[in-house]
Structure 1
Amino acid sequence: MQPLPCAPSSSGPFPASSSLPSIAIVGAGPTAVYALDALQRQGPACRVTLLEAGGQPGQGIPFNARNNGAHLLANIAGFELPPVGETLNAWAMRQSPRRQAALGVAGMAHDPRAFFPRMALGAYYADQLGRLMAPEAGPCTAELHCHAEVQDIVARPDGARVIWTQRGQRHAADFDAVIVASGYGKPDVGARLAGASARIARGRRVAVIGSSLSAIDAAVELAVRHGQFHEAGDGTLRYVVEQPFAVTFLSRHGLLPEADFWVPEQAPALRHCTPAALAATVRGHDGDLDRAFALFARELAEADPDYARTIDLPTCDADSFATRHFAARMGSDPFVHARANLAQARDSHARAQTIAWRHAILRMHEAFATIVPDLSDADLARFSRGLKRVFVDNYAAVPHLSVARLLALHEAGVLTVQRIGRDASMARAADGGWTIGTPDAVERFDEVIDARGQAPLGLEDFPFPTLRLHICAQALAEDRHWHEGLAPAQGHVLDPEDPALSRVHVLSLPFLLHRHPFIQGLTESAAMARACVAALGRRAEAKPRSRDDIHAALAWLDRTDPIYQGTDVLMVARPTA
């Protein structure tokens, strides 16, 4: 793969004399690639500037080659990945044998149901970004700036100013619109392991917080540093320890993820729990979740009557369903369940036959995603404690090889799982290690790796101070809380009624997760990008409205919040009527 051309910054990314609309994309990971693809395919002619903080454009944090080896797998199959020009498998098939081997896809590049290494997906997106930047790619002219850290965004009715630093130099440019596609807020497991590897020496006990695919990545990364996996003649996997070590997954519920099950490429439509039917249950107050659950239960009972009888579905409600659903797994050894589940999932693929209840829940999570943003605070909290856990567990199924590796590590005496509940405590020990306390015991570990997924981020974590102040002031004026993150309007525009905020679209996943808990995969990134570009295409000048209330709120924050005292952001952020 040839490096992408990263342009040096000057006073602005394009000549000021150009009459084409200008769009800045903050970030150059997969979400930004999908945004540029949508602009090239469905957008008007424009000038696009991508500002990438790192030096590996296109790859994004979870898929970069620097911290991901070929042993770390993505959990999305080729046929599920939204294509950028060409499908993942078509791209993999035209790579040279040498590159296929380097990316870990040799022998499976043709298989649309194969799970590729994360670094292969990163290479795919990097290649597609290069293609999208070519002059013949579409009506848009694109320019990429690497090592460009965006410091601030100033939204105004006449445009948006983006301020960034690049190799110690400060730059600023004005754009007609900004797409914030800055991706995840915490480093990936590979990066964290790279920093810890020097300390994880022979005989060390390592605690991994979490038990999802990121935790599996952590365990596998440690395993390849301390021994080798071997496949036996009968296809079973075993692990040989060369340098002793031990890993414990610390999980709130003590569960391991289930293995990927076969699903048809074209899923049948839901009959009862449809987006339209769910929307009709939402009346804007407590109780919406109960009406939605009734549709969920009806769909599930029809899809798999045996499963419904097993958990006594007719007596479940929105609060008790998760407890019933997880009861058998919670009551069994996690590795015993993992072995049985892996056999079931492999049989599902061998027969090309789905598991009815799992497939129904998988389809319904997409329908529920359309109403979760509109649930009341109380219903949202209930949903997060119950149904959300079921949905996330079901759609976060992992590659069969990942489960086989966990089983091999456990049989080698390397891996255990410990349930820690909600009240676990963690403290640094005097000798540099860690103590983890639960109601039942206190455990000591030499190292701790946080492999939990991306947590929702509140607006106080939004990294652009002037834009953050602008949104906080608006929230204050409208008596809304901003600690829960962002809830952009259709097309992911911050506020279509505000002449300034209507120029900013936010696709940054961590800030959307609170009200959009399922919006964290590549499929969602592609959908967000398409919606954003569609909104850009139809954006008209919003009718101005008085913003004296915003100005008053800005003034209040300027007086009371030490973050903003002594700054000049008040005047540049004030929207004008």
Structure 2
Amino acid sequence: MELNRAQHLALIGAGPSTLYLLNSFTQMTRCPARISIFEVKSTVGVGNPYDTPMCEPNLLSNIGYDEIPPLILGFEQWYESKFYMPYQVQGQVLTRKIIGEYFADAFDYILGVLRQHGVLVYMYRNTAVTGIIEDTRDDDVRMTLVGKGKPYQGFTHIVVNVGSSFCERRPSNGYVKPYPIKAYVKPVYQRFVIMGMSLSAIDTAVGIAQYRGHFARCTKGLTYSCEAPVQMTMMSRTGHFPWVWYPSKNTTLFYNWLTSHSIKGLRDLDEFNTFLFLPLLARYFPDIFHQVNAFNFEEVLTFLAGRRGQCDAFAKLTLELLANTHNNVDSHWPAAVVAAINVIQSTPALAQDYAKKKGTLHALLAACTAAVPRESIERILALHEAGVLTVTTECEKQASSAQKSAHHCLIDARGAEPADKGVVRLAQLLKRTYNGLVVDTSAESLSVSPHHKLYINEKETNIYIGSAFLTPWFLNIPGLDTCAKFSRNIAKKISQTVEQENEPNVAV
């Protein structure tokens, strides 16, 4: 590995995105000679989803062990060395805790590999970055980070990998955040009102149930019982849960079909729907195709998202679980939607048309592609059968009633804010100086290129956005595969940077 002595890279955040970026550098022929990593917490590698407070009590991810993007320390290799036994597949998905342990160990392992190659790695834990300053003097640009009131100077490149925290939803007045669950599972609360029916909302309901009682499997299936009375209500205007987990490997199959049958000159999403997406449904999902073949793209998504008319949320879940259990191919259609999103993302005319309709389509695409592990679905159904969990679309009425009672706990579990909101918070950190004159940065002046570079007033910077949560043009739901892909692209761009003549003034 050749070290670029002129480069000093700063990484903001030490979660999965940074883990995969460092992993990518181990596979490059060229790497920055110095890397400084700033993490607001004491733990590294895990980010928010897999940190201990987010994992309890024994919450599930929606990732199978074979769906974790590869690291130089493989999952099965790590598991066997840590637990002295081969990994045995125990369910469709892994627990968040086991992924967190793996990522934390892999992070340390990868840092060790980089250091063996001579890379100087500086690790700053418990250090929140409160400012990013780009200092331009006579065409020479150096960047400074501010953390704990202290400047860290001389960086040539910065990668922002903290998008999920920037886009974290601020709870409404009177509500609490969904994580950590043990923060609000108190005996005084007899009823929990959960805003949303997202993955976070399901985590919340299942977590509360595990703290208050226990699940047991019998001949009739999964049952739930608790000693103290507890009631939970989920509020959602749609009244629909996400779909049962589906194997992501099918996405590749459908994406390859779409690209192999692609037609040049598609001008908008409705043409894409007519000439590509509907034929895909006809090929792999004929039963669905016959119901939507006269629909435009938005109408197809509305149908698939289950938003054409009302139905019982728990009956719908039961049917989906049954189809998934029998490996019915019709239950894998969300993977086709993910493949369609990837094609739209990579086709400028389609992406441009999507941008015009984003307000409507974004929520539909999220509803079509979000997936919940079947084990979590079984627990949700058990809670309903036990009379513990109900769903309502009368959100305002339920919230108003709950706010009047001291024995009710309100939880805002609607998931992350849109990327645009995160960009606003990012802008608040950015400062620019021109020969000593400090200039604030507005959110309107920021944009992110397809190569993940941040532009300010259409001027290129050496700041990269490594998080899909802060990338407005990214259409899909961010996941580990996104972390790996973004990180790989950014590592390539940084490693290809022409070496500068002068050494940076490093004051770290």
Please confirm whether the aligned pair reaches a TM-score higher than 0.5, indicating the same fold.
Answer: yes
In structure 2, what is the equivalent of residue 129 of structure 1? 107
TM-aligned CA distance change 1:535 to 1:144, over 3 Å? same
Aligned residue identity for 1:399? P
In structure 2, what is the equivalent of residue 47 of structure 1? 34
Which of the pair has the greater relative contact order for Cα pairs under 8 Å at 6+ separation? 2
Work out the CA distance in 2 between the residues paired with 1:372 and 1:475.
28
The question of 1:382 aligning with 2:364 is answered no
- Of 184, 196, 203, which aligns to 1:196? 184
- Of 387, 390, 403, which aligns to 1:434? 403
TM-aligned CA distance change 1:224 to 1:356, over 3 Å? closer
- Of 132, 147, 151, which aligns to 1:153? 132
Aligned residue identity for 1:142? V
1:34-80 Cα deviation digits (max 9, x unpaired): 11111222142521110001111111111101342252111111111
TM-aligned CA distance change 1:367 to 1:468, over 3 Å? farther
The question of 1:293 aligning with 2:269 is answered no
In structure 2, what is the equivalent of residue 462 of structure 1? 426
Counterpart mapping for 1:257-296 below 5 A: 257-262=242-247, 264=249, 267-268=252-253, 270=255, 273-274=258-259, 277=262, 280-282=265-267, 288-294=268-274, 295-296=276-277
Residues 180 and 507 in structure 1, CA contact (< 8 A), matched pair in contact too = yes
Q: What SS does the corresponding residue of 2:73 show, helix, strand or coil?
A: coil
The question of 1:365 aligning with 2:341 is answered yes
Q: What SS does the corresponding residue of 1:491 show, helix, strand or coil?
A: coil
Work out the CA distance in 2 between the residues paired with 1:123 and 1:373.
42
TM-aligned CA distance change 1:257 to 1:58, over 3 Å? same
Aligned residue identity for 1:370? S
Counterpart mapping for 1:213-228 below 5 A: 213-228=199-214
- Of 83, 90, 108, which aligns to 1:96? 83
TM-aligned CA distance change 1:248 to 1:32, over 3 Å? same
- Of 415, 420, 425, which aligns to 1:453? 415
Aligned residue identity for 1:364? A
Residue 448 of structure 1, CA deviation: 1.2
Aligned residue identity for 1:434? Q
Work out the CA distance in 2 between the residues paired with 1:468 and 1:195.
40
1:264-294 Cα deviation digits (max 9, x unpaired): 5784354663399477425xxxxx2222222
Q: What SS does the corresponding residue of 1:224 show, helix, strand or coil?
A: helix
Residues 178 and 504 in structure 1, CA contact (< 8 A), matched pair in contact too = yes
In structure 1, what is the equivalent of residue 288 of structure 2? 307
Aligned residue identity for 1:193? I
In structure 2, what is the equivalent of residue 61 of structure 1? 48
1:311-364 Cα deviation digits (max 9, x unpaired): 2x2310123223333458853211111112111111118xxx674644433422
- Of 17, 20, 24, which aligns to 1:34? 20
Aligned residue identity for 1:252? R
In structure 1, what is the equivalent of residue 58 of structure 2? 71
- Of 513, 529, 542, which aligns to 2:487? 529
Q: What SS does the corresponding residue of 1:152 show, helix, strand or coil?
A: strand
How big is the alpha-carbon RMSD for the aligned residues of Structure 1 and Structure 2? 3.6
Q: How many residues align?
A: 478
Work out the CA distance in 1 between the residues paired with 2:456 and 2:441.
15
TM-aligned CA distance change 1:356 to 1:56, over 3 Å? closer
Residues 35 and 529 in structure 1, CA contact (< 8 A), matched pair in contact too = yes
In structure 2, what is the equivalent of residue 563 of structure 1? none
Work out the CA distance in 1 between the residues paired with 2:147 and 2:264.
45
Residues 151 and 463 in structure 1, CA contact (< 8 A), matched pair in contact too = no
In structure 2, what is the equivalent of residue 547 of structure 1? none
Aligned residue identity for 2:424? E
Aligned residue identity for 1:504? I
Q: What SS does the corresponding residue of 1:207 show, helix, strand or coil?
A: strand
Counterpart mapping for 1:413-562 below 5 A: 413-420=387-394, 424=396, 433-434=402-403, 446-456=408-418, 457-458=420-421, 459-462=423-426, 464-467=428-431, 482=443, 487-495=447-455, 501-512=460-471, 514-540=472-498
In structure 2, what is the equivalent of residue 181 of structure 1? 161
Q: What SS does the corresponding residue of 1:340 show, helix, strand or coil?
A: helix
Residues 11 and 159 in structure 2, CA contact (< 8 A), matched pair in contact too = yes
Q: What SS does the corresponding residue of 1:539 show, helix, strand or coil?
A: coil
The question of 1:412 aligning with 2:391 is answered no
Structure showing the higher strand proportion among its residues: 2
Residues 262 and 354 in structure 1, CA contact (< 8 A), matched pair in contact too = no
TM-aligned CA distance change 1:511 to 1:163, over 3 Å? same
- Of 204, 215, 218, which aligns to 1:232? 218
- The normalised TM-score by structure 1 is 0.73
Work out the CA distance in 2 between the residues paired with 1:23 and 1:58.
18
Residue 225 of structure 1, CA deviation: 1.7
Aligned residue identity for 2:468? L
Structure 1 gap ranges (5+): 1-17, 101-106, 283-287, 436-442, 477-481, 543-577
Work out the CA distance in 2 between the residues paired with 1:212 and 1:219.
11
Aligned residue identity for 2:430? T
Residue 251 of structure 1, CA deviation: 1.2
